[in-house]
Amino acid sequence: MLRTAVIVDAVRTPSGRGKPGGALSEVHPVDLAAYTLRAVLERNGLESDQIDDVLLGCVSQVGAQTFNIARQAVLAAGFDESVPGTTIDRQCGSSQQAAHFAAQGVIAGQYDIVIAGGVESMSRVPLGVSASVAGSPFSEAMLERYPEGLVNQGVSAELIAQRWGFDRETLDAFAAQSHARAAAAHEAGAFARELLPMAGVEADETVRAGTTAEKLAGLPASFRTDAMAARFPDLDWRITPGNSSPLTDGASAVLIMSAEKANELGLTPRARFHAFSVVGDDPLLMLTGPIPATRRILERSGLSIDDLDAYEVNEAFAPVPLAWTAEVGADPAKLNPWGGAIALGHALGSSGTRLLGTMLAYLEATGGRYGLQAMCEGGGMANATIIERL
């Protein structure tokens, strides 16, 4: 008989600016992850040898984030040497995929207790550095299939903005709203249960409370090059640092176990996993995957978009959640109600379980029942998750 997988706890570090001098830039990524692992044990009265596995997402697995960072974090956290760990790369959805694998293992009876999470130090391991080491990731066969070449995610965001007709003013207004919502949530103490002060940092460094669309309007486009302008002559080039998620350092973790094990240990489940989906999509547009992933998970779950009380759709760039909202008929008021990655940061490998913890806390604060999380992912993929608050 299939078991029920539940979430017992969710924690995260603050979001630090992912550049030299950022609040968490001096912390090794292994130690960022280890900090969340220790917190999960301490907060729930567990011994490390009770953990069946640790699954961590990390995108740029090079340098300080190589050699299976999950196992390194397990050891750095002081866990018993018998506890294994593995590192997952599904691009920006890496830790959401880690949570899927963990929950699916519990449901199948292969795990009793798992920690799923993720980490990324973008100040120490810059975005794109993996592709500059030991050759191009694109083989001859890949280039034969896409002879014009794929594009970076910023250009993909430009293509989405153009296709769905989002002008610069709309994108900047959405970004300003993200900062306003995140700042209000911080002020209200909404993140208190999940947020772990670290290295003297008690709040997300990436949130800018005074952000307005008018201020963002002065920022230049980030991704226009002569080559891209020649290839896509109709683009208006409206994606800027202001309506994109910032480079970020951070880690997050979620404690997942069977409902039976939680009852045995006297722990209170906060939510159960209700449904999962993962899809591939157009690798040129790349960031539209949350749309088919949402359609698939709604079909599988038997729920409608109106049955959901909150949606966390990662704000890699402002056009991504805006296009998703338009296509699935979602209520904008339920979308990233405490702000999204434009304000709260996008520490790539960590973002999936960061969003999951935030969505859970929001459902608890508002009495909501169902929440949907969706992440766009490099290469044209997406994960979607529905949880039910208990």
* pLDDT above 90 (res 136): no
Q: Which pLDDT does position 251 carry in this prediction?
A: 99
Q: Which pLDDT does position 134 carry in this prediction?
A: 72
Contact between 18 and 121 under an 8 Å Cβ cutoff? The reply is yes
C-alpha to C-alpha distance for 184 and 163, rounded to whole angstroms: 32
C-alpha to C-alpha distance for 216 and 214, rounded to whole angstroms: 5
Q: Which pLDDT does position 283 carry in this prediction?
A: 97
C-alpha to C-alpha distance for 390 and 382, rounded to whole angstroms: 26
Give first-to-last CA distance, the chain, whole Å. 21
Q: Which pLDDT does position 346 carry in this prediction?
A: 98
* pLDDT above 90 (res 132): no
Which residue from 12, 32, 28 is spatially nearest to 202, judged by alpha carbons?
A: 12
Q: Count Cβ atoms below 10 Å from residue 138 Cβ, excluding itself.
A: 13
Amino acid symbol at 301: S
Average pLDDT value for residue range 281-303? 98
Q: Which pLDDT does position 46 carry in this prediction?
A: 98
Q: Which pLDDT does position 129 carry in this prediction?
A: 87
Bridge partners (DSSP) of residue 66 are none
Catalytic residue among 100, 186, 274, 346: 346
Dihedral sign from CA coordinates of 39, 44, 50, 54: negative
The rounded Cα 253 to chain-centroid distance in angstroms is 11
Q: Count Cβ atoms below 10 Å from residue 255 Cβ, excluding itself.
A: 27
Please report which confidence band the pLDDT of residue 158 belongs to, taking 50, 70 and 90 as the band edges.
Answer: very high
Strand bridging mode 310-313 / 271-280 = unpaired
pLDDT digits (tens, 9 = 90+) for 141-153: 999 999 999 999 9
* pLDDT above 90 (res 128): no
Report domain extents, the chain: 5-126+246-265
Q: Which pLDDT does position 133 carry in this prediction?
A: 79
Residues in the chain: 390
* pLDDT above 90 (res 135): no
The Cα-based distances of 280 to 69, 99, 164, 220, 285 in angstroms read 26, 19, 20, 32, 11
What is the residue-averaged pLDDT of the chain?
Answer: 97
* pLDDT above 80 (res 293): yes
Contact between 171 and 316 under an 8 Å Cβ cutoff? The reply is no
274 is catalytic: no
C-alpha to C-alpha distance for 268 and 295, rounded to whole angstroms: 31
58 is catalytic: no
Q: How large a percentage of the chain has pLDDT more than 90?
A: 96
C-alpha to C-alpha distance for 21 and 187, rounded to whole angstroms: 25
Catalytic residue among 28, 58, 92, 100: 92
Bridge partners (DSSP) of residue 142 are none
pTM of the model: 0.97
pLDDT digits (tens, 9 = 90+) for 99-115: 999 999 999 999 999 99
Bridge partners (DSSP) of residue 248 are 17
In this structure, whether the domain defined by 5-126+246-265 belongs to CATH 3.40.47.10 is answered with: yes
Mapping DSSP to helix (H, G, I), strand (E, B) and coil, where does residue 384 land? strand
Q: Which pLDDT does position 377 carry in this prediction?
A: 98
92 is catalytic: yes
Which residue from 138, 162, 158 is spatially nearest to 150, judged by alpha carbons?
A: 138
pLDDT digits (tens, 9 = 90+) for 5-62: 999 999 999 999 999 999 999 999 999 999 999 999 999 999 999 999 999 999 999 9
The Cα-based distances of 18 to 15, 147, 281, 348 in angstroms read 9, 33, 28, 11
* pLDDT above 80 (res 323): yes
Question: Which tokens sit at 270?
Answer: 């906060």
pLDDT digits (tens, 9 = 90+) for 329-388: 999 999 999 999 999 999 999 999 999 999 999 999 999 999 999 999 999 999 999 999
C-alpha to C-alpha distance for 327 and 26, rounded to whole angstroms: 42
Strand bridging mode 5-12 / 113-121 = unpaired
